[in-house]
Chains A and B, each alone.
Chain A
Amino acid sequence: MTATDFQVVIFDSVSSALLAEKILKKLDIPFKIIPVPRHISSDCGVCIRFSARERERIEGSLAGRVGIQTILPL
């Protein structure tokens, strides 16, 4: 897989990231917790990386429930 296949969800806080993790795990959607890439920010914590094809499911399951700042291609 190439890097362009991935996107990241940037959260408004670490607790939002933890909450999102709980939700996605329950739904069995594959993802990975990674540090927010340095080129995006040098001190904004962790984010969730996922395969671009999961974007709709991810957005659908997190929207309105978790504080999301933005979703970006990696």
Chain B
Amino acid sequence: MKKEIDARGLACPQPVILTRKALQDNDEIVVVVDNVTARENVKRMAQSQGCEVVIEGDGKDIRIHMTRGSSCQAPQPATSPEGPLVIAIGSDRMGSGEDKLGSLLMRSFIHTVVEASQRPDTMIFFNTGVRLTVAGSEVIEDLRELSGSGVNILVCGTCLGYFEIKDQLAAGTVSNMYDIAEAMLSAGRLVQL
């Protein structure tokens, strides 16, 4: 018989945690949830584990059937186009509007880049983005790790000079607009923050 987990009334992320635990010991389970957010979270997690997911019911009684199958593989990452992957970071914050939030998001983003299966070939830092590359930056360990694994980290020299922090550079190499423009123009994919 399928193992059944009643996750109704539990706050996020508890339904996902219970599901993940149950999937470690069972190939076939049913999780009952009472809201759409929990349904989607559980579904995504199960699919990322290579499970087949069937949902029945709605409202306060949603039953999510999960079957771990050898034929169901985790989704493959999209193939990258020709040419290097470049990430250009022009601010020490991710997004604009709320500085504290932006700083939090940037740290979270850089951490995720370190953990990502596909690391960028080049990362470019300019304007206030250069503050991320100097001593005392919250992400300096991450940037060193990226640099050590072969990611080319270019830091705008004009910008370091403008903020008078050139002597504090702690990750990457001081670069100029020629290198920065060339890296951007020859990118297969350019991700700009």
Contacts and interface: CB of A to CB of B under 8 A. Distances in A.
Interface residues of B, number: 22
A23 to B, nearest CB: 15
Interface of B is mostly: helix
B56 to A, nearest CB: 21
Given A41-B41, A42-B41, A14 B17 contact: no
Given A33-B111, A43-B41, A72-B17, A38 B11 contact: no
Contacts of B44: 38, 42
Interface of A is mostly: mixed
Contact of A41 (B16, B107, B108, B112): B16
Interface string A30-68: 001111101111111010000000000000000000000
Interface residues of A, number: 21
Interface of A: 10, 14, 17-18, 21, 32-36, 38-44, 46, 69-70, 72
